[in-house]
Structure 1
């Protein structure tokens, strides 16, 4: 399997790290795009940094490089996910505004009718965000919130993050390592 993973400027870079770690464990080829906004958030949050993310990718693409392989529909992938997906990136995807590689790769994913998952992190949702979620959905994207569940009795922040990772990977038919599902013993 080959996926494009975008990381945009919404708070929640640990969600991206968890997804990338799981994809590495599963042997998925990952093409990573990190927006300039995400780089600023990493610095401010003090959690996972760019080197932590890029170490888990098969290939890293500069967000300013609109000639990168992932900008073309002829570059075959099994889909794309954006985690976290900021309100600004959501708006670009919903409106088809492809001014950077992250938005262009999402546009290509939609036009090629491949799976696109947007993990929206910003709360509360404004009316324009809700309308953009609906537009992205109607264009073919799956819109998820980074909202962990509690039925698996999480005992750490890592377990909370792992719940979201598992739900994201479910969208691509992948099982997150060690995830306990509802009804599992």
Structure 2
């Protein structure tokens, strides 16, 4: 995994934002999810993390980093690497149905699936809830919370587009991993930060999204 995704930063404990559920699935672009988790850690946010087996496979393929299958082991590793306070990060198994994420009475009202496969997109759009990840997303939707999905697929079939439209009508934000180039990026990390910054904007992480990439109009011409 790139060194830039492991940087540590002090956290302002007095300004902790509301908790958020983050999910990683098997779409290409695991660095989007890693960078998002890092930024949330730096922002003092409590994170409930879910990931699929396919996400582990993609992480090893794209970063060379083997993510432990045991939730406790992965939680300890991420807390150490990203400077998460132990009480601010919780990793769950795919079938951990007693997790607070499975019920509207205790689940966070904000969730980001980043990156999001089109298979996960379809399952959430259809309220399948076959895994805790799918159930957590369904809970956020039914409770009228904030669900952000970051699909990474191309081209998109008619079925993919229909599922995105369904989620949009349900109130979800469909935020494709399609970075802009007006800020003249020179490194891959700048493209990743562009998307992560937009996610942070929608989560209401004041100032954090803005600090990752210039906004339109902030880039001088010439």
TM-score scaled by structure 2? 0.78
Any conservation in 2 of the 1:66–1:104 contact (CA below 8 Å)? no
Any conservation in 2 of the 1:118–1:144 contact (CA below 8 Å)? yes
1:142-165 Cα offsets, whole Å, 9 max, x none, are 111101111122111101100000
- Please provide the CA RMSD for this pair: 1.8
Q: Does 1:86 align with 2:117?
A: yes
TM-superposed deviation, 1:64:
1.9
Question: Of the two, which has the highest radius of gyration?
Answer: 2
Partner of 2:148: 117
Partner of 1:28: 45
TM-superposed deviation, 1:67:
2.1
- Pairing partner for 2:91 from 45, 60, 66: 60
Partner of 1:15: 32
Higher relative contact order (CA 8 A, sep 6+): 1
Q: Does 1:105 align with 2:139?
A: no
Any conservation in 2 of the 1:9–1:86 contact (CA below 8 Å)? yes
- Paired with 2:20 and 2:192, the residues of 1 have a C-alpha distance of 20
Q: Which residues of 2 match residues 143-154 of structure 1 at below 5 A?
A: 143-154=174-185
TM-superposed deviation, 1:47:
4.5
TM-superposed deviation, 1:137:
1.0
Runs of 5+ unmatched residues, structure 1: none
Q: Which has the higher strand share?
A: 1
1:43-67 Cα offsets, whole Å, 9 max, x none, are 3323454359833461111112122
